[in-house]
Amino acid sequence: MIALSAIRTRPTSYVSGLLIAIIAIAAVFAPLIAPTDPYALATVSILDGRLAPGGEMLDGTIAWLGTDGAGRDVLSAILYGLRTSLTVAISSAAIALTIGLIVGLTAAFYGGRLDTILMRVVDIQLSFPAILVALVLLALLGKGIDKVIIALAIVQWALYARTVRAAAMVERRKEYFEAVTCLELSNTRIIWRHLLPNSVSSLIVLATLQTAHSISIEATLSFLGVGVPITEPSLGSLIANGFDYILSGAYWITFFPGAMLLATVAAINIFGDQLREIINPRLAK
């Protein structure tokens, strides 16, 4: 509740939050908002190909952001692409968060050898850049949306695990935790009912920033041709698609999907930064 009223009084967080909400709504209701269905083969005509922004398509619809090489409306393609991008980012974040929570809490609660081994694995994984790990995983797993989600989840879990563990270690030293241990509750109950709720708040900011990061990684992978399949293009695949046309001057096919990607990632990043300052005001100065 405190956080909510803090958001209202900070214009930057308000604006970025609003932008995220608009983008999310546009993605969810893409089929209703989009002027055309970019993947309905019956209505897409090659004769509409490479129309400049504002051009009129054969059926009379105005292509505000132009059309791509195959005659698809760029605006509609972006709205549909946004859905794929967000689906991948959010589901991979959810999976990574779950794994990270389980590993982090287990390590903090049991400590000792188990903790050492788990954290060593986390350290080793975090010493490699995310994009590289994702690239490697996709080389090993093959193509497909599910594969991209798995790869991104594996890329992110270690960061969550480390953060949760650090928060849980702090909780363990508090008095209530001593009291709970004295009550002889089962380990699972202590972990899930006491350790989890108290450690989870540290993850809110991380999860926000990580979502932006994974949208970016997914786009990069799809651009390289190892990400989501061409049948369900994300913003990254749309940019890759436009890559073939930039030398002929048809900039809009790559420009607009990229601008959308930038707006999404920047809005989430700024919102995450604001959230961090609200939750931990000492960092602001």
Binding mask 85-124 for other proteins (x = CB under 8 A): ---------------------------------------x
Single out the residue of 3, 46, 52, 139 in contact with other proteins (rule: CB under 8 A): 139
H or E, element range at 164: helix 145-172
Q: Does 140 bind other proteins (CB under 8 A)?
A: yes
Chain centre distance of CA 276: 18
Q: Does 270 bind other proteins (CB under 8 A)?
A: yes
| Sites for other proteins among residues 226-245 (CB under 8 A) | 226, 236, 239, 242-243
Give least dist CB 258 to other proteins, A: 4
Piece of the chain touching other proteins by CB under 8 A; list 17-25, 135-143, 166-174, 274-282: 135-143
Q: Among 135, 126, 195, 208, which Cα is nearest to 165's? A: 195
Closest to other proteins by CB, 97 or 226: 226
Q: Among 281, 269, 239, 277, which Cα is nearest to 19's? A: 269
Closest to other proteins by CB, 109 or 271: 271
Q: Does 146 bind other proteins (CB under 8 A)?
A: no
Give least dist CB 34 to other proteins, A: 22
Q: Does 54 bind other proteins (CB under 8 A)?
A: no
Whether the CB-CB separation of 30 and 80 falls below 8 Å is answered with yes
Question: 3-state DSSP helix/strand/coil percent for the chain, to nearest 5?
Answer: 75, 0, 25
Q: Does 39 bind other proteins (CB under 8 A)?
A: no
**Tokens standing for 91?**
């589901």
Report d(CA 17, CA 22) in Å as an integer: 9
Q: Does 198 bind other proteins (CB under 8 A)?
A: no
Piece of the chain touching other proteins by CB under 8 A; list 20-28, 44-52, 152-160, 265-273: 265-273
Report d(CA 203, CA 221) in Å as an integer: 26
For the beta carbon of residue 264, count every other beta carbon within 10 angstroms.
25
Give least dist CB 202 to other proteins, A: 21
For the beta carbon of residue 239, count every other beta carbon within 10 angstroms.
23
Q: Does 219 bind other proteins (CB under 8 A)?
A: yes
Count of all residues that appear for the chain in the document: 285
Single out the residue of 31, 246, 280, 281 in contact with other proteins (rule: CB under 8 A): 246
* Per rule CB under 8 A, count of chain residues that contact other proteins: 39
Whether the CB-CB separation of 210 and 156 falls below 8 Å is answered with yes
Report d(CA 261, CA 255) in Å as an integer: 10
Q: Does 266 bind other proteins (CB under 8 A)?
A: yes
H or E, element range at 168: helix 145-172
Give least dist CB 208 to other proteins, A: 13
Coil, strand or helix at 62: strand
In the complex, the residues that contact other proteins under the rule CB under 8 A are: 124, 127-129, 131-132, 135-136, 138-142, 212, 216, 219-220, 223-226, 236, 239, 242-243, 246-247, 249, 251, 254-255, 258, 261-262, 265-266, 269-270, 273
